[in-house]
Amino acid sequence: MALVFLLLFLPLSHHSNAMTGCHSDRDKDHRPRVNCTATNLSDVPASIDTTTKVLIFTQNQFSSLTWSSYSHFPELYEIDLSHNAVPEVPLSPGPILPTLGVLRLVGNRIRTLPPHSFRATPGLLELYLDQNILETLDDLSFSGLRLLQILELSQNRISVLPPLMFRSLPAIETLVLEQNHIRTMPDQWFSAKPEVPYTYLSQNPWACFCKRT
Binding mask 149-188 for ligand NAG (x = CB under 6 A): ----------------------------------------
Q: Which amino acid is at 130?
A: D
**What is the enclosing helix (H) or strand (E) of 143?**
none
Q: How far is the CB of 153 from ligand NAG (least distance, A)?
A: 21
Give residues 74-113 in contact with ligand NAG (rule: CB under 6 A): none
Regarding 47 and contact with ligand NAG (CB under 6 A), the answer is no
CB of 155 to ligand NAG, least distance (A): 20
- Judged by CB under 6 A, how many residues of this single chain contact ligand NAG? 5
Question: Which residue of 34, 55, 56, 165 would you call a contact of ligand NAG, by CB under 6 A?
Answer: 56
Cα–Cα dist 48/34, whole Å: 8
Cβ 174 to ligand NAG shortest distance, Å:
20
**111 residue type, one letter:** R
Q: Report, in Å, the least distance between residue 182 CB and ligand NAG.
A: 31
Closer residue to ligand NAG, CB minimum distance, 40 or 188: 40
Q: Which helix (H) or strand (E) is 13 found in, with range?
A: helix 2-13
> Should residue 35 be labelled a site residue for ligand NAG when binding is judged by CB under 6 A?
yes
Name the residue among 128, 133, 138 with its Cα closest to residue 103: 128
Judged by CB under 6 A, does residue 191 bind ligand NAG? no
- Tally of residues, the chain: 213
State which of residues 11, 14, 26, 42 lies at the interface with ligand NAG (CB under 6 A).
Answer: 42
Contact in structure between 53 and 78 (CB atoms under 8 Å): yes
Nearer Cβ to ligand NAG (53/119): 53
Q: Is the dihedral of CA 130, 110, 135, 151 positive or negative?
A: negative
Nearer to ligand NAG, 37 or 69 (CB): 37
Pair 163, 182: CB distance under 8 Å: no
Q: Where are the beta strands (DSSP E) in the chain?
A: 16-17, 22-26, 32-35, 54-56, 78-80, 102-104, 112-113, 126-128, 136-137, 150-152, 174-176, 198-200
> Given candidates 37, 64, 112, 199, which one binds ligand NAG under the rule CB under 6 A?
37
**Binding region for ligand NAG (CB under 6 A):** 35, 37, 40, 42, 56
